[in-house]
Amino acid sequence: MKFSNEIKVGLTIIAATVVFILGVRYFEDLPLFDSTYDLVTEFDDAGGLISGNIVRVNGVAVGSVNKVAISPETGKVAVQFHVHADLPVTEGSYAQVAGFDALGVVRLDLFLGDPSAARIEEFGLVDGRGTGDIIGDLSNRAPELVDQVDRVLAGLESTLTETSSMLSEPGSDFRMAMNSVQGSVQALEDILTAEKERISQILSNVDSLTAGAVGAIGKDGENLTQLTDNLNGTLNSIDESLSRFGETSEKLNEILDKLNQGDGTLGMLINDPSMYEKLDSTLNGINNLVADFQNNPAKYLKEMKLVDLF
């Protein structure tokens, strides 16, 4: 069975169209046979975005731009794009133009919202947040930057001229300050030269002191360890003495408590006034008796016999 040339041309065109469509979907990283998910966003400035630019999510290509046109209703740039049908573009998602317009490398970055939020319907509006082209901004600001650089260079030239003038004039403050610094340095050098021997002696003394400290510490700190042990022993002896002193203080407190409570003869004597009065009265009587005996001994001896005396 032979086919006419018209049928062959038609079949070739259809096959080429299918291959072209599949190739476009392949290079756009879209499923070859599955459906896509179309959405719309708006920007004040498209930033060089055109149809065919890729759409990325977290650096991964998920679709491409279908159409870029001015919206007659809002006057903004309406961008229609499609992504994988299973991509969860939920409420709170937004799109942003990225790349460099001056280099012709522009893309549409899609930032997904909370996965638990409601999904945006197909052909629904995604919030657009356009960003300026860095190189384009630099190009627009180039004249202003050049003027600022010129002002900086002019100021630098003025500063260098003034500095050169200050260095060349002998009576300038800068030259005088430099001369003063030079004189101070020379004076310091003279002092170091004059005191060279003394400085050497001081350094020698420091070395001797360091060596003495090392000797006192001993090899691997043996002397320091011995000193620490002796100090610990002394502290332990002090602790024992303080413990015995504490026991003595407790016993003394017990004795004082008994005296305060009137226990014993001494406690009664301290706490009972009658004991003191009786003892005082007895002592007074003894004193009177001794005095009377000294004054009139015959009164006491007349009744005694010689035999009793001897």
Taking the C-alpha atoms of residue 114 and residue 95, their distance in angstroms, rounded to an integer, is: 15
Query: Residue 186: what pLDDT?
Result: 83
How many CB atoms lie under 10 A from the CB of residue 87? 19
In a domain, 229, yes or no: no
- pLDDT over 90 for what percent of the chain? 10
Query: Residue 90: what pLDDT?
Result: 92
Spatial contact of 112 and 89, defined as CB atoms under 8 Å apart: yes
Give the pLDDT band of residue 248 (cuts 50, 70, 90).
Answer: confident
The domain boundary, picked from 121, 138, 155, lies at 138
Taking the C-alpha atoms of residue 176 and residue 159, their distance in angstroms, rounded to an integer, is: 19
* Whole-Å CA distances, 300 to 202, 292, 296: 97, 10, 8
Spatial contact of 41 and 95, defined as CB atoms under 8 Å apart: yes
The domain boundary, picked from 154, 171, 191, lies at 191
The 10s digit of each residue's pLDDT in 91-134 is: 999 998 887 765 657 888 999 999 899 999 988 899 988 665 55
In a domain, 28, yes or no: no
**pTM of the entire predicted model:** 0.37
Phi (first) and psi of residue 230, to 5 degrees: -60, -40
Spatial contact of 140 and 106, defined as CB atoms under 8 Å apart: no
Residue that wins the pLDDT comparison between 87 and 216: 87
Burial environment of residue 37 by CB neighbours within 10 A (0 to 12, 13 to 18, 19 or more): buried
pLDDT surpasses 80 at 144: no
Are both 90 and 75 inside the same structural domain?
yes
- pLDDT over 70 for what percent of the chain? 69
The residues, ordered by sequence, that sit 6+ positions from 29 with a Cβ below 8 Å of its Cβ are 54, 61, 62, 63
In a domain, 155, yes or no: yes
Name the nearest CA neighbour of 100 among 137, 63, 58: 137
Q: What's the structural domain count of the chain?
A: 2
Query: Greatest CA separation found in the chain?
Result: 193
How many CB atoms lie under 10 A from the CB of residue 10? 12
Are both 130 and 156 inside the same structural domain?
no
Query: Residue 93: what pLDDT?
Result: 93
In a domain, 247, yes or no: no
The 10s digit of each residue's pLDDT in 6-23 is: 666 676 777 677 555 555
In a domain, 266, yes or no: no
Instruction: Show the tokens assigned to 142.
Output: 């180039």
Are both 125 and 71 inside the same structural domain?
yes
Name the nearest CA neighbour of 68 among 93, 89, 49: 49
List the domain range (segments joined by +) for residue 149.
Answer: 143-191
Are both 134 and 160 inside the same structural domain?
no
Instruction: Show the tokens assigned to 140.
Output: 């627009």
Query: Residue 33: what pLDDT?
Result: 47
pLDDT surpasses 60 at 25: no
Phi (first) and psi of residue 110, to 5 degrees: -110, 125
Phi (first) and psi of residue 39, to 5 degrees: -140, 170
Spatial contact of 259 and 252, defined as CB atoms under 8 Å apart: no
Query: Residue 85: what pLDDT?
Result: 84
Interhelix angle 196-217/222-261, nearest 10 degrees? 60
Are both 128 and 150 inside the same structural domain?
no
Query: Residue 269: what pLDDT?
Result: 64
The DSSP secondary structure of 47-65, one letter per residue, reads TT--TT-EEEETTEEEEEE
Are both 42 and 94 inside the same structural domain?
yes
Are both 132 and 161 inside the same structural domain?
no
In a domain, 16, yes or no: no
Give the pLDDT band of residue 40 (cuts 50, 70, 90).
Answer: very high
The 10s digit of each residue's pLDDT in 151-194 is: 888 888 778 777 777 667 766 666 677 778 878 888 888 888 88
Give the pLDDT band of residue 287 (cuts 50, 70, 90).
Answer: confident
- Mean of per-residue pLDDT scores for the chain: 76
Query: Residue 219: what pLDDT?
Result: 60
pLDDT surpasses 60 at 44: yes
Give the Cα-Cα-Cα angle 193, 198, 200 (nearest 5 degrees).
90
The residues, ordered by sequence, that sit 6+ positions from 93 with a Cβ below 8 Å of its Cβ are 110, 111, 112, 113, 120, 126, 127
In a domain, 134, yes or no: yes
Mean pLDDT for the stretch of residues 241-270? 75
Most trustworthy range by pLDDT among 132-141, 247-256, 259-268: 247-256
Query: Residue 275: what pLDDT?
Result: 66
Are both 108 and 127 inside the same structural domain?
yes
The domain boundary, picked from 151, 174, 191, lies at 191
Lowest average pLDDT, out of 109-113, 212-216, 278-282, 294-298, goes to 212-216
In a domain, 41, yes or no: yes
DSSP-assigned letter for residue 124? P
Query: Residue 250: what pLDDT?
Result: 83
Query: Residue 306: what pLDDT?
Result: 46
